[in-house]
Amino acid sequence: EKDGHDWFMRKEIFEQPRAVADSLIGRRTTAGLLALDEMRLADEEIRDLDKIIIIACGTSFYAGMVAKYAIEHWTRTPVEVELASEFRYRDPIVDQTTLVVAISQSGETADTLQAIRHAKSQRARVLAICNTNGSSIPRESDAVIYTHAGPEIGVASTKGFLTQLVACYLLALYVAQVKGTRYGDEIDEIMVQLEAMPDHIATVLEQAESVYELARAHVGTRSVLFLGRHAGYPVALEGALKLKELAYLHAEGFAAGELKHGPIALIEDGLPVLCVVPPRGRDQLHGKMISGIQEVRARGALTICLAEEGDRKIEPYADHLIRLPQVPVLLQPLVAIVPLQLFACELATALGHDVDQPRNLAKSVTVE
């Protein structure tokens, strides 16, 4: 049942090319338009949207952070991302021109369910992104985009996360199409890039052995930092969460630009820092990330850099280099998170922990 893997989590990591491909199937009509069957929002409602609020917890929240970058860039609609557990306690400004997007793999997370109930009481429209057919969150929502990850058994979300990202990109493109903020051929081009992602993810998985080796070399490590910028920032947060959950290590993700505002004080000799380097296409982003990496390395950090194929500028500053396929910055989370999942899974295994059932955690958090 684990397909020869030691853990469900590892099996699920390797299923990601398939899960991403399945989540993309059937989204394009013959006319080339994006079709989302389970989307029960009228075009008029989408055109009238003033803002989108994404609510979620944990890994799903990080998918929501990536979604903000994509939705705002492609649709020019303002997006807020909020932890579901905080949402209703701050008296949020929500009305019928607000679309609340609830992201939940299980569809049963109590914090998220309570948040959508609050949003509905304020007359917001609610769309669920969910992996579990017929679960509570999609049942109580006006519209749903189902992800097609298949059952996720490992408590730590992996393929659930990647397919949530796919659903978020599809939602962003759909809104762009209806609002007319992007032309059909641009949407088409992004769809083609998305459809290439399963192969790119498979390419990253081919490097598993070298990531495992790196992970095993960190058995004595007590703390690991993760740095990212732009869409790589949520990847850093998610990489850190995986390590906390599975290896019970102190792990923190930071936006690289925040380093000098405090976190750089944490850097000491030998501290591993995993860096998600943006593609070179976004010159400013790339250059700024490199200077952040230089800063931590100059203070003794051991830098493990995830950078695209062909990026030579990073080489002098990387103690270890993990190569990523060349993809647009907004889609990079789909490939960049994979080595971080492998790293956490392998380090936890080497430490003798139960990867599928980490201590103190439940797969579905059905109490607030």
* Sequence-ordered list of residues with C-beta below 8 angstroms from that of 217, at least 6 positions apart, any chain: none
When binding is defined by CB under 6 A, the residue of 23, 112, 163, 341 that contacts ligand M6R is 112
CB 135 within 8 A of CB 338: no
Contact characters 177-216, ligand M6R, x per CB under 6 A: ----------------------------------------
When binding is defined by CB under 6 A, the residue of 99, 156, 247, 334 that contacts ligand M6R is 156
3 state DSSP class of 318 = coil
When binding is defined by CB under 6 A, the residue of 105, 136, 177, 221 that contacts ligand M6R is 105
For residue 16, state whether it binds ligand M6R (rule: CB under 6 A).
no
Determine the Cα–Cα distance for residues 80 and 64; give it in Å rounded to an integer: 9
Task: Output 82 or 311, the one with its CB closest to ligand M6R.
Answer: 82
Determine the Cα–Cα distance for residues 43 and 81; give it in Å rounded to an integer: 23
Window contacting ligand M6R (CB under 6 A); options: 36-44, 100-108, 141-149, 271-279? 100-108
- Please, what is the minimum distance in Å from the beta carbon of residue 5 to ligand M6R? 18
Task: Output 308 or 346, the one with its CB closest to ligand M6R.
Answer: 346
- Please, what is the minimum distance in Å from the beta carbon of residue 284 to ligand M6R? 32
Q: Where are the alpha helices (DSSP H) in 126-255?
A: 136-139, 159-179, 184-195, 197-205, 208-216, 232-247
Determine the Cα–Cα distance for residues 161 and 304; give it in Å rounded to an integer: 22
Task: Output 104 or 349, the one with its CB closest to ligand M6R.
Answer: 104
Q: Is residue 313 flagged as an active site residue?
A: no
Distances (CA, A) of 237 to 87, 168, 225, 361: 20, 18, 9, 18
Interface with ligand M6R (CB under 6 A), residue total 15
Nearest to 56 by CA among 92, 81, 89, 93: 81
Determine the Cα–Cα distance for residues 169 and 179; give it in Å rounded to an integer: 15
CB 312 within 8 A of CB 280: no
Query: Strand pairing partners for 307?
Result: 323
Window contacting ligand M6R (CB under 6 A); options: 152-160, 270-278, 331-339, 348-356? 152-160
Residues 40-99 that bind ligand M6R (CB under 6 A): 57-60
Residues 121-140 that bind ligand M6R (CB under 6 A): none
When binding is defined by CB under 6 A, the residue of 157, 221, 341, 349 that contacts ligand M6R is 157
Instruction: Kindly report the number of other CB atoms within 10 A of residue 202's CB atom.
Output: 16
140 secondary structure, DSSP code: T
Structure tokens at 145: 């985009």
Q: At 164, which amino acid appears? A: Q
Minimal CB distance to ligand M6R: which residue? 58
- Please, what is the minimum distance in Å from the beta carbon of residue 339 to ligand M6R? 16
Residues 346-365 that bind ligand M6R (CB under 6 A): 361, 365
Return the CA Rg of the chain.
Answer: 20
Of 120, 179, 244, 363, the active-site residue reads 363
For residue 23, state whether it binds ligand M6R (rule: CB under 6 A).
no
Nearest to 60 by CA among 164, 201, 187: 164
Task: Output 34 or 347, the one with its CB closest to ligand M6R.
Answer: 347
Which residues of the shown chain bind ligand M6R in the complex (CB under 6 A)?
57-60, 104-106, 109, 112, 155-157, 245, 361, 365
Enzyme catalytic residues: 363
